[in-house]
Amino acid sequence: MDEITLDDLRELTEKNGIDPDQLSAIAEADGLPEDLRAAMADILGDLTIFGQALDEKGR
Q: Into how many domains does the chain fold? A: 1
Closest C-alpha to 50, from 10, 12, 20, 16: 12
The number of residues in the chain equals: 59
pLDDT of 4: 78
Q: What is the pLDDT of residue 38?
A: 81
Q: What is the domain extent for residue 9?
A: 3-58
pLDDT tens, residue by residue, 7-18: 777 777 778 787
* 22-59 tens-digit pLDDT: 777 776 766 667 787 788 788 888 888 888 888 888 86
pTM of the model: 0.46
pLDDT at 5: 73
